[in-house]
Structure 1
Amino acid sequence: MSIEITGDEQSAHDILLMLKQWDEAVASMDIQALADLCVENVSLIDVSTHLTGIQAYKQLWRRYLPVKAGNIRVYREGIKLIAQPELAVLHCFSKVDQIDAIPNLEVFWCRTTICFQKVEQVWKVAHQHISMPIQLETGLPILLSEVS
């Protein structure tokens, strides 16, 4: 996994540590831990939804409880993190998939942008934007290997 950092190195380091907490919360489907890592008015634009507010965010994650329970983790590739002392933006390709040795080819990589805000000296997720890159001609997902 490659990580390209631009800007404030300490802020970037702190955000990457926070992302480990985030990934652990996703893997265990700990919705409260995810919510604790977000600002109260967090917003999310996903492939299928647009929401604002921590309660709506928690409700979205509750929908995934039966689907994603078990042996999962967050995968990221091509991380680019632009960090300043109070605000930061991370973009990458990501997916949540099984931990097993055989990648699930039905779980496609998404483009992900996460905006972070420092609130009372703690980094929080303020906004997420997740989209599925598709080929306009065919409507099929673009594979990570096809992205330069």
Structure 2
Amino acid sequence: MPTQREVDEAEIRQRVEEIVEGIRAKDLETLQRLYATDVVSFDIDPPLQHVGIAAKMRNWANVFAFFQDVTYEVRDLAITAGDDVAFGHGFGRLSGTLNNGTATSGMWVRATFCFRKIDGTWLIAHDQVSVPLDVASGRGVTDLQP
């Protein structure tokens, strides 16, 4: 019989898979159900933080506006779950066909998800996406592979 931690980890992995499916479908309603209403997101694009579910959904809507079709891939996802908070980290890559017909393989980013169990459901309370920084040039390094 699985432990509660194993059950929680499986549920969180399922939530991450729902994120992947929601992104691929460009489905804001599905994505909105995965985030806490007071989510704080440190996403790849400005500003430094996006606060609240409406801001997070605007972020996704902006991404979807660039793509005819979009794919999202997660690799090396590690999850640590407590009783009512959990975190996960791994690598993500957004790719697809842009509206102008250009195919893009995207870039790999580092992703961290922080979850809270709210009314029995694991929701994303915080996420952070980043690329490594080349300190000498002050530029992000976007050509690395996991």
Deviations 1:57-86 (A, max 9, x none): 11222212221331x322122222111231
Q: Which aligned segments of 4 or more residues in structure 1 are displaced greater than 6 angstroms? A: none
Deviations 1:77-133 (A, max 9, x none): 22221112311101111111139xxx945x211111110111111111111111111
TM-score by length of 2: 0.81
Mind listing any 5+ residue stretches in structure 2 that lack a counterpart? 98-102
Deviations 1:20-79 (A, max 9, x none): 111111111111211111111011011223111111111222212221331x32212222
Is the 2:9–2:79 contact (alpha carbons within 8 Å) kept by the matching residues of 1? Answer: yes
Superposed CA RMSD? 2.2
State the partner residue of 1:15. Answer: 12
TM-score by length of 1: 0.80
Aligned length in residues: 135
Distance in structure 1 (CA, Å) of the matches to 2:87 and 2:57: 22
Mind listing any 5+ residue stretches in structure 1 that lack a counterpart? 1-6
State the partner residue of 1:32. Answer: 29
Distance in structure 2 (CA, Å) of the matches to 1:73 and 1:13: 23
Choose the corresponding residue for 1:47, options 44, 64, 76.
Answer: 44
Normalized per residue, the structure richer in strand is 2
State the partner residue of 2:76. Answer: 78
State the partner residue of 1:4. Answer: none
Question: Higher relative contact order by CA 8 Å / sep ≥ 6: 1 or 2?
Answer: 1
